[in-house]
A and B are shown apart, each in its own frame.
Chain A
Amino acid sequence: MKINGNDVTLDAEPRTLLVNFIRENAGLTGTHWGCDTSNCGTCVVLIDGKPVKSCTQLAAMAGGHEVTTVEGLATADGLDSVQEGFIQCHGLQCGFCTPGMMLTARALLNKNPDPTEEVIREAISGQICRCTGYATIVRSIQWAASKDRETAVSLEGANA
């Protein structure tokens, strides 16, 4: 599979869950594990751009696919706007659910650049945060959406 654009080919037991493969075999500990039962969503990664709870998949099922983890959000140009939004709007406290929340947010904004509060809440409703009470996470994603739209406008301006 590709993780964050890098080819990763490693041996693993057939029963290895993707979350354990990412954390232990690939050594990317930014993806967290929280429940075993697909309820908490702290293990969310993107597979081919779609948010997936990595504890619900076997590592082998991700073979041939593109996996994005929190380590793949920032680029050489700097932080992803979602990461910036979480910092600016206090969208994290302990930071444990944050990687999964940010990846879901990234996938949402790629699909819908101007989501309403209701749409944002629904998008993150499969994930639990025990610290923030969600309002600041919603604001963080709105902040990122606003930043993305600004960037898009300035890019259009530059191209015109």
Chain B
Amino acid sequence: MTVTEDANQIPTPENNLNDHKPVGFGRMLRKEDARLVRGQGQFCDDIVLPGMLHLAILRSPFAHAKILSIDTSAAEAHPKVTAVVTGAMLAEHNLAWMPTLSNDVQAVLATDKVRFQHQEVAFVVAEDRYSARDALELIDVEYEMLEPVIDVRKAMAPDAPIIRTDLEGKTDNHCFTWETGDKDATQAVFDAAEVVVKQEIVYPRVHPAPMETCACVADLNPVSGKLTLWSTTQAPHAHRTVYALVAGLPEHKIQIIAPDIGGGFGGKVPIYPGYVCSIVASLLIGKPVKWTEDRTENLVSTGFARDYVMVGEIAATKEGKIQAIRTNVLADHGAFNGVASPIKYPAGFFGVFTGSYDIDAAYCHMDAVFTNKAPGGVAYACSFRITEAVYLVERMVDVLAYDLKMDPAELRLKNFIRSDQFPYETKTGWVYDSGNYEPAMRKAMAMAGYDQLRQEQAEKRERGELMGIGVSFFTEAVGAGPRKDMDILGLGMADGCELRIHPTGKAVVRISVKTQGQGHETTFAQIIAEEIGIPPDDIEVFQGDTDNTPFGLGTYGSRSTPVSGAAAALVARKVRDKAQIIASGMLEVSVTDLQWDKGAFSVKGDPSKSVTIQDIAMRAHGAGDLPDGIEGGLEAQICYNPSNLTYPFGAYICVVDVDPGTAEVKVRRFVAVDDCGTQINPMIIEGQVHGGLTDGVGMALMQMISFDEDGNCLAGSLMDYLIPTAMEVPDWETGHTVTPSPHHPIGAKGIGESATVGSPPAVVNAVVDALQPYGVRHADMPLTPSRVWEAMQGNATPPI
């Protein structure tokens, strides 16, 4: 069933909107805010240990160059320097290379040659932050320049220099080839089609740029041999296992602690050389070592996102019925394949490029290549490449609408998968769990006043004003994932959860995922509260410390609620089942004669006889008798293995005005209707959507990590890599529908990345729509004034 409700109310000191305290789902203020508004959060760089030293990394000024020699003597002579380490020294301990999350390898410190600008070459450990940086200036590296491979379209040219000379027998820059769908069936549909549209679409390289850069404090105790690593990681358990494999440390002697994290967005999933260097430094020196990246290091060397050149094609009837979608993708993976996605999915979940439409055939061919650029590839709230897939299909549908002279909203409504077709298996093999697309689309159109907007646009066009209305509709695939299909480096993507109810009825829940701002301390308390009736204020949520939480794969790909949230609900039900048996003893009735009213069991037909969960908790720990075969205590642990992904969806409408004189784009309005299934905390959901919409506007209009032909990164600061401020974005208009997931215990689907996935096509479609009087059919992101101006002059060029 789909329920629609009105957009969110705004709290004021007068309206008491926040006074309601739900025992379970509903708007609830966040538990984590009390410390964060007081400046009492503890982020990685806030941690100070006795005797702690500071690490700084020397990076390559060149994109591709052979290292001839490194002279560290002057740096070592600096009075405050403790150690200077090069790749050659790491190689002696077999630590110069580490595995990436895609089964490739990446240099911790370069030994033979550097493969991207700002690659790690050496590190210094010193008594303070400033001295460590000073000493970097004293290291003398002699390089021999090599020709770099920067243009992705030329990476596979026969005469292209080989980047990965470290891989035995490598004779080109090919990374992998991947395909999905049915090539021949798709060709047959295209051959017979009345209408075929084709367009090259570039999703440029971008970077998540969280406000907090990457950092860690490594403390390897020389006596106990135990490594404690405070680290900016979204996946502490997965990191622990990888460190055990890389460094040969026994896994029980590794404790990873992710403290408060200042935004992650996927950029804090991979293991970066800086973390490994810090561990090595602490091992060598026997003291705690802190490493905090600067902003440039963050932008130029940690996980980039996107970088896909896609050629899209749609086959359709003259009436606009989409029959087939085909795409050919050239993927730039940088110098090492550092993609963090399930190992059997080298292109992430790009296979959902058929979008929200019921079609007859689909096919994708992808070639991924190495270039002399930083590694990465899956980061920035992309749901494992669904950003690219949704952008492709939603831009292509608009190209079809342009060629057929049809309204883009009507065209989408004509092609949606119908609600009675779910579960729906796509032509690329994805089984969408549930959906009800038309009401979401119609709700967004009603909120936006779509028909009036089109009328206003027509009037403005008469006057030579440029107004654009952009529509996008997305389906996401999140909550990775079923362990038979999905693993990272052999680690199944299931998540654990442990719940303990204390004697007085207060609870502690330990989860395997880790918030970076999403509000896990609140959401997970609410899930437990909903299931077991203990108020959220009485439930403490532990996360991020591998010594004190059950194993699981962490927070990314919008997987916390779909996977760990399910684990939380199920562990609470397990505890509730035991509580019911204890209650039956307390009330002296059979288990089947009890009914559950959120927080208490009562006797069916006699509600005056009841015991609360708090009463039961005391009995479970008390001295009195328990039913036969029941142990004392009230706690449980589970590991949840999802049977399928969940498929959130949404309808977005963006309204822009383009200045005909300056080509500047102003986002006037943005309407977002999201369906993430059952809502746990609407306030947090709205916040997640707002943030993603802002990312989308940034990517569509401002952000790009670009390079010159020598491989110099041109976006190494926030002066060059532009991120929206409060002036570039409108007041968001959000709404929702609710279509629960049928296989998730509480029907929740995940919301963290929906808006980042769905908003870029809406913004670009709006700008292209505004430029229709100039005959513009497509223009690539980022739609900066200069690029929009070029499009207006008929000279739109791809950004790479």
A residues lining the B interface (CB < 8 Å):
13, 15-16, 20, 23-24, 27-37, 39-40, 42, 69-71, 73-74, 79, 83, 86-90, 92-99, 102, 117, 120-122, 124-139, 142-143, 146-147, 150
Contact: B41 with A95, CB < 8 Å?
yes
Contact: B262 with A29, CB < 8 Å?
no
Give complex CA distance A27, B209 in Å.
Answer: 26
Q: Quick one: which of B272-296 are within 8 Å of A by CB?
A: 294-296
Contact: A93 with B517, CB < 8 Å?
yes
Contact: B29 with A36, CB < 8 Å?
no
User: With A33-B45, A132-B690, A133-B729 in contact, do A92 and B33 touch (Cβ < 8 Å)?
Assistant: yes
- 8 A–B contacts, CB within 8 A, in A order: A29-B46, A90-B687, A95-B260, A95-B262, A99-B39, A134-B725, A135-B731, A146-B12
User: With A131-B263, A135-B690 in contact, do A32 and B726 touch (Cβ < 8 Å)?
Assistant: no
Residues of A within 8 A of B518 (CB): 93
Main secondary structure of the interface of A (DSSP, over half): loop
Which residue of A73, A88, A94, A150 has the most chain B CB atoms within 10 A of its CB atom?
A: A94
Contact: B263 with A130, CB < 8 Å?
yes
Total residues of chain B contacting the partner, CB 8 A: 62
Residues of B within 8 A of A31 (CB): 39
Contact: A35 with B718, CB < 8 Å?
yes
Residue of A nearest to B732 (CB): A135
Contact: B39 with A143, CB < 8 Å?
no
Give complex CA distance A31, B45 in Å.
Answer: 11
Give complex CA distance A142, B129 in Å.
Answer: 39
Residue of B nearest to A129 (CB): B211
Give complex CA distance A129, B573 in Å.
Answer: 38
User: With A132-B691, A134-B694 in contact, do A87 and B516 touch (Cβ < 8 Å)?
Assistant: no
Given A88-B29, A90-B29, A133-B690, 10 additional A-B pairs, CB 8 A? A29-B46, A33-B45, A90-B30, A95-B41, A95-B262, A121-B727, A125-B725, A130-B723, A133-B732, A139-B11
Contact: B690 with A136, CB < 8 Å?
yes
Contact: A28 with B725, CB < 8 Å?
no
Give complex CA distance A8, B691 in Å.
Answer: 38
Give complex CA distance A120, B726 in Å.
Answer: 9
Give complex CA distance A125, B725 in Å.
Answer: 6
Give complex CA distance A133, B37 in Å.
Answer: 18
Contact: B213 with A30, CB < 8 Å?
no
Contact: B11 with A94, CB < 8 Å?
no
Q: Which of A13, A39, A69 contacts B718 (CB 8 A)?
A: A39
Residues of A within 8 A of B729 (CB): 133-135
Contact: A30 with B295, CB < 8 Å?
no
Nearest-Cβ distance from residue B753 to partner chain A, whole angstroms: 13
Contact: B38 with A83, CB < 8 Å?
yes
Contact of B261 with A by CB under 8 A: yes
Contact: A94 with B517, CB < 8 Å?
yes
Contact of B14 with A by CB under 8 A: yes
Contact: A138 with B731, CB < 8 Å?
yes
Contact: B726 with A96, CB < 8 Å?
no
Give complex CA distance A29, B213 in Å.
Answer: 15
Contact: A130 with B265, CB < 8 Å?
yes
Nearest-Cβ distance from residue A13 to partner chain B, whole angstroms: 7
Residues of B within 8 A of A90 (CB): 29-30, 683-684, 686-687
Contact: B262 with A128, CB < 8 Å?
no
Contact: A87 with B718, CB < 8 Å?
no
Residues of A within 8 A of B687 (CB): 90, 93, 131-133, 136
Contact of B419 with A by CB under 8 A: no
Contact of B608 with A by CB under 8 A: no
Residues of B within 8 A of A122 (CB): 726-727
Nearest-Cβ distance from residue B29 to partner chain A, whole angstroms: 6
Give complex CA distance A17, B758 in Å.
Answer: 41
User: With A90-B684, A94-B263, A99-B39 in contact, do A134 and B11 touch (Cβ < 8 Å)?
Assistant: no
